[in-house]
Amino acid sequence: MIVGTPKVTTLADLFAVAYQIEAEAVERYDLLADQMVTHNNPELVAVFRDLSRAEAIHRDEIRRQAGDIDVIAHAQRMAKWQRGESPEAANLDEAHYLMTPWHALQLALAAEHRALAFFKSVTETTKDSAIKRLAEEFVEEEAEHVNLVHRLMRKYPRPTGDWSDDPDSPVSQE
């Protein structure tokens, strides 16, 4: 049952999936921040930690909203994803040790769009009005996150084409 898409048929399912989406996003940004600590890229460490904190706020808010529902245990039982990971987990493959904040925000933007698309699909497919209302709330929040990332990108313009040039390249044999 590892491979598969979670089926949202109850409010508890939706809370659990939403919680897991945010929790995995936090975990992923922390992993990327740790990678950048190792590779001495402090500017990126700060960006990934900020993204992690933003997702953690959302994660904790979902847990509070869920009340008595044990979202962690419930998610472990039912939240399985087709593409191998939950949609808001930033793509690890795209990381580079010299990446810039602009690249980090591109990763975040793609992740937010995937999460937005997921919650939209719930609103479009559910027949349960309570699930639809909650999913619409999540859509609004994800749309706000997309806008936030766009605003941050104004602060960090696209780097020039030589951003990955390293005067002391690890590829010493080429």
Interacting residues toward other proteins by CB under 8 A: 1-3, 31-32, 34-39, 73, 76-77, 80-81, 83-85, 92-97, 99, 170-174
Residues in CB range of 173: below 8 A, 6 or more apart? none
Least Å distance between CB 37 and other proteins?
Answer: 8
CB atoms within 10 A of CB 39: 14
Residues in CB range of 151: below 8 A, 6 or more apart? none
Least Å distance between CB 63 and other proteins?
Answer: 16
Least Å distance between CB 120 and other proteins?
Answer: 23
Q: Which is nearer to other proteins, 129 or 172 (CB)?
A: 172
Query: CA-to-CA distance for 170 and 174, rounded, in angstroms?
Result: 10
Q: Which residue has the tokens 């580079």?
A: 96
Q: Which is nearer to other proteins, 104 or 135 (CB)?
A: 104
23 φ/ψ angles, rounded to the nearest 5 degrees: -65, -40
Least Å distance between CB 83 and other proteins?
Answer: 8
Q: Which is nearer to other proteins, 32 or 109 (CB)?
A: 32
